[in-house]
Amino acid sequence: MAVLNEIEALIPDLRRYACALLRDRTAADDLVQDCLERAVAKLHTYSGDGALRPWLFRILINRHRDLMRRDQRAGHLVPVDDLVTEPANAATQDAHMALRETKAAIDRLPEDQRRALLLVALEGATIDEAAQALDIPKGTLLSRLARARSSLRQMTGREGASSPRPLHKS
């Protein structure tokens, strides 16, 4: 089936996103597998009008929500060591530090902000696609993104003399 080929072509994107969310490759691939199984089972509900990507990400995100809920109850421990590949070439110490800071900051973002930011900034989803995948209105998504970016900026200590105007949102 043509749709299955399209889904297969999106596996690398799903894996990267899952990896960024979970910070553990095995867990990420498990999540992707869950998502694919669910997608195949739900294929008849897919409308087939080209919105496959947000549809798939939506399934993945729903699975991730379920997973986080279960792990919270089980007293899930977040791995402290680095599972994400370091930049291949020896970057300067500063760049390394900045990346580490960003990585730590991403992990400290509230889950909904993290999902939104990674969809847009990492996966390059458009606002329409991301709003669809997260099942929230575009306006909500935009302010969630602005909040995520501003917390990221604060946490990485790069909020210099020209600090941004506060967003008046919790």
Strand residues in 93-149 grouped as ranges (E) = none
List all residues 6 or more positions away from 1 whose beta carbon is below 8 Å from its beta carbon. Answer: none
Pick between residue 108 and residue 128 the one whose CB is nearest to another protein.
Answer: 128
In whole angstroms, the minimum distance from the beta carbon of 55 to another protein comes to 8
In whole angstroms, the minimum distance from the beta carbon of 85 to another protein comes to 7
- Residue 65, φ and ψ in degrees, nearest 5: -60, -45
Rounded CA-CA distance 167/58 in Å is 28
Residue 87 CA, chain-centre distance (Å), reads 20
- Provide the residue type at 90 as one letter: A
Rounded CA-CA distance 133/127 in Å is 10
In whole angstroms, the minimum distance from the beta carbon of 37 to another protein comes to 5
Pick between residue 34 and residue 53 the one whose CB is nearest to another protein.
Answer: 34
Site residues, another protein (CB under 8 A): 4, 7-8, 11-13, 15-16, 19-20, 29, 32-34, 36-38, 40, 42, 45, 55, 58-59, 62-63, 65-67, 69-70, 72-73, 84-85, 87, 98-99, 102-103, 106, 117-118, 120-122, 126-128, 135, 138, 142-143, 145-146, 149-150, 152-153, 158, 160, 162, 164-165, 167
- Given the structure tokens 């390394």, which residue do they identify? 96
Rounded CA-CA distance 167/170 in Å is 8
In whole angstroms, the minimum distance from the beta carbon of 58 to another protein comes to 5
In whole angstroms, the minimum distance from the beta carbon of 93 to another protein comes to 15
| 48 touches 3 (CB < 8 A) | yes
